[in-house]
Amino acid sequence: MIKATNPDDGDSFGAAVGLSADGKTILVGAPKEAGSASGLNGDQASNSQPGAGAAYLY
């Protein structure tokens, strides 16, 4: 199972998905994620930027 590290209703996690050619890496989009964090390891609890979007790399 793949899920967001900070799931919220309405984030649209999985609206876009990409898989690397070797099948070892997946990128999952959540276009309605409202977090204001930028870069890696930001404040995932923040929901102050509605519609900011996020990408999760696994």
Query: Which has more pLDDT, 43 or 32?
Result: 32
pLDDT digits (tens, 9 = 90+) for 1-40: 899 988 899 999 999 999 999 999 999 999 999 988 887 8
Please report the pLDDT score of residue 5 as a whole number: 87
- Tokens linked to 56: 């999760």
pLDDT, residue 13, reads: 96
Q: What domain count does the chain have?
A: 1
Q: What distance in Å separates the CA atoms of residue 36 and residue 20, rounded to the nearest whole number?
A: 27
Using alpha carbons only, what angle is made at residue 39 by residues 5 and 29, rounded to the nearest 5 degrees? 50
Which one has a higher pLDDT value, 26 or 46?
26
Taking the C-alpha atoms of residue 34 and residue 1, their distance in angstroms, rounded to an integer, is 23
Is 32 buried (19+), middle (13-18) or exposed (0-12) by CB count in 10 A?
middle
- Domain extent, residue 51, equals 1-58
pTM: 0.85
